[in-house]
Each structure stands twice: as C-alpha cells, then as structure tokens.
Structure 1
Amino acid sequence: MSHGQSRGNSARRKRKVKARHCKAGRRRARAKPVFSAGGLHYEIGARTSAMSYGGIGAVRRLVSKLGLAREMDRRLELLRRHLPYHESDHVLNIAYNLLCGGTRLEDLGGLRHDAAYMDALGAELIPSPTAAGDFTRRFSESDVIELMECINAVRPKLWRGRGRDLLGPVAYVDVDGTLAPTLGKKKAGMDQSYKGVWGYHPLVVSLANTGEVLYLVNRPGNAVSHRGAAAWIDKALALVSPHVPRVCVRGDTDFSLTVNFDRWSEQADFIFGYDAQPPALVARAEALEADAWTRLGREPRHVSPTGATRSKREDVKGRIVRERGYVNKRLNFEDVAEYDYRPAKCRKTYRMVVVRKNISRMKGELTLVEEIRYFFYITTRRDPGAAEVVRLANARSDQENVIEQLKNGVNALRVPVYDLVSNWAYMVMAALAWNLKSFLAMMMHLKADRRRYVAMEFRRFVREMILVPCQVIRRARQTTLRIIGWQPTTDRLFSVWRTIERTGFG
C-alpha cells in the first residue's frame, strides 16, 4: 500500500469519526444508556495475526537506522556465546517491554507468547523474564558505563537533524539526585538515606531541551547528592558541547562544587543555587543599597492558548487553614539584586544573583511576624538580567518531572534485581525507553509537535503512539503493520514513519 493510499484511508476514517460525533451532538434525550449489554460474541481468529502495539514498528526502524543495536553488540561483551540472543537483544527487550506498557520484568512473559509482537520485531523468540534478570547480573560497573556511551554515541545523529531546533542556541544540562526506595532486605549495595528510607540514591544528568537522560548513575542510599557528580558533569559537557553553540549546567545548592567552577567556566556556563548559610553572604546582601533591589515579577503559571480567562475558584485549602487557625506562610513579594563574588576556592569572580523574599507568618487572619529570606544563585552568565537568571535557575525544576517519569511512568527506578550494579544496569536499560520516546519525538514533522511530545508524560505517549491496533502481515522479505483502528494521533505516527524512512543517519 502506498503512502498516498494510507493518507486517503486515514482521511476517510477521520471523516467517519467526525460524522459520528456530529450525529451524536444532534440527538435528543435518550430513554436508555448509550452503553448496551447485548449483541457481543468472542472468538479466536484462525489466520489473522494482530497486536495492540502498532507504534513499536516505528521505534524498531528508528533504532535500526540509528545503528544502536550494532553499537551495543560491537562494544559490549557480556555473553560468551549467543544462544540465540545478542547483547542488544536483551537491552532492547527490556526497553520495548516498557514502551509497550509493561511495568516490570514479569510482563515480558506476556510478550513472549505474543506471536504478532515478535513478528513485528522480526524475532523468532524474545528473552524470558528470568533470562532478562540474569542478563542484568552479568554487568560490571565499567559495562554499565559502556552501555550508556553506546546510547550516547547515536544521539548526535538526531541532534544534527530535526533535534537541532530543540537544542537552540543554549543547551541546558541539569543534574540532580533522587531516592529509589525498596522494601527488599537482601539487595546488596543498598543503604539508609538521610530521610531514613532504605534503597539507592541515583544521580540523574539530563538534557533539558530534549528531555533525554544522558547519564543515570546508581549509588548507595546514604550517598550525598553531589557524590561523584563532577565527573559525570564533565562527561555530559564533552558529549553535548560539540553540537551546540553554548552549554549551561544547572543544579541546586548541593552541586555548587566551587573547586570545579574555574574549570567548568572555560568549557561552558553554569547556574547553581548557592548555600545561604555563611553569615558573610547574607550580611553582604543586607548591606546592599536600597536602589540595588528591583521588584521580581513572576510569570503566570498557565496562560490559555486562546487568551480566555476563567474566574478563580475558591481556595479551599487556604480557607480551612484560616478557619482552624493553623500557622501559615504567605509570600508577600520578592526583590532581586546582584553583585560580583569570588568563592574561596576560585581564582575567578562570578556573578551572584540574590532573591529577597518577604514572607508573613500568619495564624488565621492574624499576622504573627514578617521575615526576610535570601536565596542565592551563582552564574557565569552576564547576558541575561538578574530576573532572567532566576527564571532560568527555577526552570531546572522541570527535571523533577523527568525524574518523576523515570520513577512512576517508565518504572526505571523500581530496583527489581540483585545488587547495586545489576539494578544500575536495569535503570539504564529502562531509561532507554524514555530516551526512545525523545528520539521518536525528534522525528515529528512540526516543531510544535516535537516540543509537545518531548514534554509529554510517558504513559500518554505510549497510549497515543505505541498502543495502536494493527494486523501483522508477514511476507517473504517484508513485514507489514496494517493499522486497523484510527485515532487523531495516527497521522502523526505515519508522519514519523515517513520521516524515519527518508532520513539517512550518517
């Protein structure tokens, strides 16, 4: 079937759905519910082969054209004999399982008995859950790092293509730590965090522009956030810098590693939160002249695309707090100022931006006391205004959404296997599913779609782009996935497919 025929079929299905909606809109009140209970029958087809993961074919083709499987098989040596699986088969098996809606290794058992799914991947058989778990235990620390570098080796092919628009003039590398808790008692390498939670403490280094996870490093639960972070920031800079005019590293106060500032400033820019504990730092902010401060305006959290405004609903939580006389804190206003500052371990002077928050501590309607708090940001950047520096620093909080998706969308931080390194290997393979989402988003035709799908939640992406019902038709030299259902995102899937087919990744 040609692309023209596919587009025609898609247009006809779209018209049918639209007509159905219009017809339903003209109907009057019904005597019976729209959901009926009769006229239903189940049967198993004799020859038709179908599955609900139609979008996985586009992912498989993109992985093939990027050469990701070849890169992993060339650089990873974990299996003495390939009976029958190669290293790339195991890695992609775990990533594809999560892309198809799986949440744990056991879900591979269902896919392993889905002949249509295996036909779509061109596989006679896929690894079982037991084999997948055993594969994670074959990794050493150096092997996990090599796996991450295999994935990083193909990223520039996307960044030189349509991903270039997403990178823009400045690429933002964000770094943060997060807790991966576990109820297990026998997972080697686990420890107790400062919150009293047992588990691991992974470090996440991500690229804000495309939502990709560049490095994911597992550590014991008692590790401090910045442990080993400098080396991984260096790796991220080496990876991203050749492909963008400018790179800016962002992190909270834990990552203000002043001993590295001078070295990093020669390679890139940075914006870090800075600890306000030293009394001298706060004293200097208090000593600034009144005209050094300007009022900091915040952008609205949400602006309607149509420009329409809605009446605000009642603040139920605030009303209950006032009625019951709870102590509450209310931000009155914020001011911003800046000055030059040289940390003790640095030879260079940097720009320090300070935010002064006026906060009222209230009980009911009564103001008990007003307090002033200072927040500091240190940066190499001189071009944006002080308020813009604060906005860029606060934009790093979007990495929390990436971490949340890794935890509860992809389930990459579930720690299902034996020890620290094997769980680290699983995290990286599972995070590949999230990265493949970004890779596919960069294949979108429209820039607005590329941005929207990069920022999209993982589960919604799976529903829209992967869980597409299709027939699987095997021929002598080709497998055809015939879409048998239509939804508004089907056209985007075909657009992505055409882009992948036409793009030559050199």
Structure 2
Amino acid sequence: MIQSIFNFDNINFNGGNISCDGGSILLLSFLKKYNLLSSLDDIPFNDTRRLPKYSNSDIVTQIVLRNLLGYFNQADQMTLVDDPLLSQCINACSQPTLSRFFDRVNMKTNMTIKEHIQRLGCDYVNRHVENIILDVDSTKTQTHGHQEASAYIYHYGVNGYHPMMINEYNTKLLLSSNFRTGAAYSSNGFINELKKVLAHLDRKGKTVSMRGDSAFYNTEFMDYMHHEDIQYYIRAKSYEKIQNMIIEHLEDNGIDYLNYTNQESYYGEIEYSPKSLSTPCRYVFKVFPAQDKQLTMFPVIYCIITNDMKRSCEDICDFYEERGNSENFTKELKDDFNGDNVGHHDFEKNCFQFMISSLCYNFYHLFRILVLEGKDQKIRMNTFRNKYQKIAVKVIRHARRIILSFSSAYRYKKKFLKYYQKLQN
C-alpha cells in the first residue's frame, strides 16, 4: 500500500548542484588514463576561422563524450554546459557553435577518423587475440527526405545509406566501419576494406578466419582470402544446381528429402567447385526440419563454402552459425550509439556522425574489456548507462576541493568503487 506521504506539498527543480550522470566519471577516467582522446588532435578540417575560442579537436571531443553518455541531439549540448558535474570535466561550447562546426567537416576528416577506428581495434587484437575471427556484414542507416547519396535499398525496403562493418568476434571491436551510399551493393568495397584491416593486423603465428553471408559469395573474394592465408566461411547462394546436388546426395544415402522429419540435423558435403574459383574449397551443408514459424512444408537446407579442409561438417556449420551473434554488435552500434540516425543533408556530415558512433562503440568495448569484470563484461552500453552511469550525485565545492556525494542507497556502490579505484591506479 502506498503511504499517505505520497501526497507531497510541493515539487521543484531547485535541488542545487545535483547531477544525474554521476557514473560518467568511470568513462571519463578511462579515456584519460589510456589517453584515448589525444588521437583526435590530428583530424583535419576546412577551418578558416581566426582566433577561435574552441578548437576543432575540442569540439570533436565534446561530441564523442556526449555520444558516449547517451546524449545524441545537438540540443543536448546544453546538458554539458549546465550539468554541475559534466561542466567541471568538459569545457563545452554552445549549441550554435556546434552547429557551425559541421560545415568544416570533409572527406579527409572522415577518412582520418576511420583510420583511428581501425588502429584502435587492431592494436588491441594484435596484443590479445590469437585466433582472429572477422565477421563482415552490411546494414542500413535509414534516411528521411532528400539526403545526399541516399537511395532505396531493396533488401530492406527503405531509403537510406548502406554501411559495411567488419567486427572481430572475440572482442566485439570494430576493425572497419565503411559508410557507403545507398546505391552500394552489400559487398561493394569489401576487398579494399579487408586490405586496410590486414595492413594493421599482426598475423605472425596467428590464424585469421572470415565469415560472411551470401552477399559475399564471390570467387574473387575467395581466391584473394585463400592466397592471404585466411580461412573463409561464406554462405552459398541458393543456386538450383547446388540444391539438386544436395538432394541427390541425400537420396544416395537413403534419406527421403521430402519426408525428412528427423529432429536431429543432417550434415554433409558435396563435391563441387565454381569454374571461376582457382583455389580448393569445400561445400558443406546442413539439413534440418522446418520450424513452426517457417511457412514451408519442406526441410531447410543451407550450404557453406569454405577453404577449411580439417574441421568436420558439423563443426563448420556450428562455427558459421556463431556469426549470428555478431549481428547484435551492429545492432548495438545503431541502438546504443545512435548509428542509425543521420540528420544532415550532406553525405560527408552524415558520414562524420556515423564515424563518431563507431569510434564511441570501440571506446566503450575497450572499457568493457579492460575495466569491467564478471557478468558486467557482457553488458551492452545502454545497460551500463542504466546500471552505472545514471546515478544522482551532489557536487560539493569546498576549500578548493570538489566532493561527489552519491546516495547511500545506490545498489552497486561496491562494484562502482572497485572500478573507480582500478582506474585511479
């Protein structure tokens, strides 16, 4: 039962120096400890200003911090200006100054940030990952109205841009974030992006695997990866010839494809190689009964082409299916870092916005790996914000000292203090 004290006599917003982002000191301390923002100083801009009050690197830093904290609109810039805690940590500019900043963005700006994203992800992978797994996928960024270089994407049925992402599966880090026009096909530019990633990776004594969907079913790609000593696992397109060969294989092994009702999946491989593919490969397939939600009366068949000659058919299919988890990485980029929202007319400005989201995505996942522990190492950014960032704190200034006073009822105070002390050492 709700007590009668629920009937308050008055409410107001005159509580004093209270911030709702007390936990932001964890992310800010992390960025400072590892000096991650220093790389923003060399980003080029078309700047003709004289005696500017805020440098371009200062404004980029503000945009990055705002994105990390979950403030995505330009109007949210005033939060950095007025918040009693954030204003102590960030020398924030006004919203009109921020709006004018985007006019100085150009292609070189975006290419430089893209290189920082690649270097940031690859440097960590080089030091800590032995079996590198690259998951490549394309996604959409929906547009509204007449935005430059957007187009109708038939696969998604919307107007927008068509970015391509390469994630490292073990760390979730982005190794490539390629913002493309809406007219780009799913695999356009893949080899160029892969070359850039490989240029940053130290592959000595390591294995590199690549997984992709049927959009990357391209013999040119496969030959290149084979010669680069990369094991690829790509879903084959549903060509009738391949389907018929699989059904024939099943019949030869006494399996009636049309009446296949076994609960266990059937794994096998067929002898087939495209004429345009000059390197050896395997076609591995999986047959399983149609699920209730699938509107089909026949079993489901999917096939994977690979140059992996050692693993069993079942292991190859299981390994490929793990790729589904990497699609959640792209979903996190879009949902938790605003990567699905571009509000400018100019393509380069929208690209800059997407690059900032990608950079913040990598910042958070480095923070998750290096600072968080136990079950917290699996949480997404929005969960972190709810659990550790959005904490009310009173900012007390006294005798040239700043004291942060958190609520004694905060549930995760022991873990919070542990993470904070970890960042101070």
Partners of 2:333 and 2:70 in 1: how far apart?
14
Distance change (3 Å), C-alpha of 1:333 and 1:50: same
- Determine whether 1:36 maps to 2:6: yes
Match of 2:389 in 1: 466
| Counterpart in the other structure of 2:113 | 147
What SS is found at the alignment partner of 1:270? strand
Look up the match of 2:85.
Answer: 116
Equivalent position of 1:259 in the other structure = 220
Indicate the SS of the match to 1:250. strand
CA distance in 2, matches of 1:181, 1:369: 31
* Distance in 2 between residues matched to 1:35 and 1:170, nearest whole Å: 60
Alpha carbons 1:172, 1:209 under 8 Å: kept:
yes
| Corresponding residue number in structure 2 for 1:351 | 282
SS at match of 1:226: coil
Q: CA 1:201–1:360 in structure 2 vs 1: closer, same or farther (change >3 Å)?
A: closer
User: Do the aligned residues in 1 keep the contact of 2:22 with 2:85 (CA within 8 Å)?
Assistant: no
Task: Please tell me whether the aligned partners of residues 94 and 430 of structure 1 are also in contact (alpha carbons under 8 angstroms).
Answer: no
Q: Report whether the alignment pairs 1:94 with 2:60.
A: no
Partner of 1:302: none
Larger deviation, residues 108-117 vs 416-425? 108-117
Report the equivalent of 2:133.
Answer: 172
Which residue identity does 2:232 align to in structure 1? F
CA distance in 1, matches of 2:167, 2:46: 27
Count of aligned positions: 417
SS in 2 for 1:224: coil
Q: Indicate the residue corresponding to 1:286 in structure 2.
A: 247
User: Quick one: structure 1 residues 217 and 33, their matched pair in 2 at CA, closer, same or farther if it must change by over 3 Å?
Assistant: same
CA contact 2:22–2:392 (8 Å) conserved in 1: yes
State whether residues 341 and 349 of structure 1, in contact with CA within 8 Å, keep that contact through their aligned partners in structure 2.
no
With 196-205 and 69-78 compared, the bigger mean Cα shift is at 69-78
Cα distance, 1:35 vs. partner? 7.4
Which amino acid is 2:148 matched to? A
Q: CA deviation at 1:234?
A: 2.5
Deviation at 1:50, TM superposition (A): 3.1
Structure 1 unaligned segments of length 5 or more: list them: 1-29, 295-329
Is 2:237 the partner of 1:275? yes
- Find the counterpart in structure 1 of residue 40 from structure 2: 72
For 2:6, give the aligned amino acid. S
Q: 1:419 Cα deviation (Å)?
A: 1.6
2:115 and 2:61 map into 1 onto residues whose CA distance is 15
Give the Cα separation in 2 of the matches to 1:205 and 1:498: 34
Could you tell me which of 229, 245, 267 is aligned with 1:336?
A: 267
| Counterparts in 2 of 1:59 and 1:53: CA distance versus 1, 3 Å | same
How big is the shift at 1:80?
A: 5.0
Structure 2 unmatched ranges of 5 or more? 256-260
- Report the CA distance shift for 1:189/1:477 in structure 2 as closer, same or farther (over 3 A): farther
In structure 2, the residue matched to 1:391 is 318
Q: Which letter does structure 1 place at the counterpart of 2:75?
A: E
SS at match of 1:381: coil
| Change beyond 3 A, Cα 1:493–1:350 | farther
Q: Are the counterparts in 1 of residues 141 and 339 from structure 2 also a CA contact under 8 Å?
A: no
1:355-504 correspondence to structure 2 within 5 Å: 355-359=286-290, 370-444=297-371, 446-450=373-377, 452-453=378-379, 456=380, 458-472=381-395, 481-502=404-425
Alpha carbon RMSD of aligned pairs, Å? Answer: 3.4
User: Deviation at 1:150?
Assistant: 2.0
Q: What CA distance in whole angstroms lies between the structure 1 residues aligned with 2:187 and 2:399?
A: 55
Residue 102 of structure 2 corresponds to which residue in structure 1? Answer: 136
Cross-structure match for 2:258: none
The code of the aligned residue for 2:162 comes to: H
TM-score (norm 2): 0.85
Contact map agreement 2:149 2:347 (CA 8 A) in 1: yes
Match of 1:83 among 45, 52, 55: 52
Query: Is the aligned partner of 1:200 residue 2:123?
Result: no
Relative to structure 1, is the Cα distance of residues 401 and 331 closer, same or farther in structure 2, using a 3 angstrom cutoff? farther
| Deviation by residue 1:330-355 (Cα, 9 ceiling, x = unmatched) | 99653211245433332211122112
**CA deviation vs aligned residue, 1:369-403 (integer Å, no higher than 9, x gap):** 84344311112334432222212212212233222
Q: 1:485 to 1:225 in 2, by over 3 A?
A: farther
SS of residue paired to 1:288 = helix
For residue 189 of structure 1, what is the aligned residue in structure 2?
149
Q: CA deviation at 1:474?
A: 5.9
Q: State the SS of the aligned residue for 1:371.
A: coil
Task: Find 1:51's aligned residue among 19, 32, 43.
Answer: 19
Q: Which residue of 2 aligns with 1:12?
A: none
Q: TM-score w.r.t. structure 1 length?
A: 0.72
Aligned AA (2:283)? M
Residue 74 of structure 2 corresponds to 105
Tell me how far 1:147 sits from its aligned partner: 0.7
The residue type paired with residue 113 of structure 1 is: D
Change (3 A) 1:383 1:430: same
Residue from 31, 49, 67 that aligns with 1:63: 31
Q: Which amino acid aligns with 1:335?
A: Y
Q: How does 1:183-262 map to 2 (within 5 A)?
A: 183-185=144-146, 187-194=147-154, 195-242=156-203, 245-262=206-223
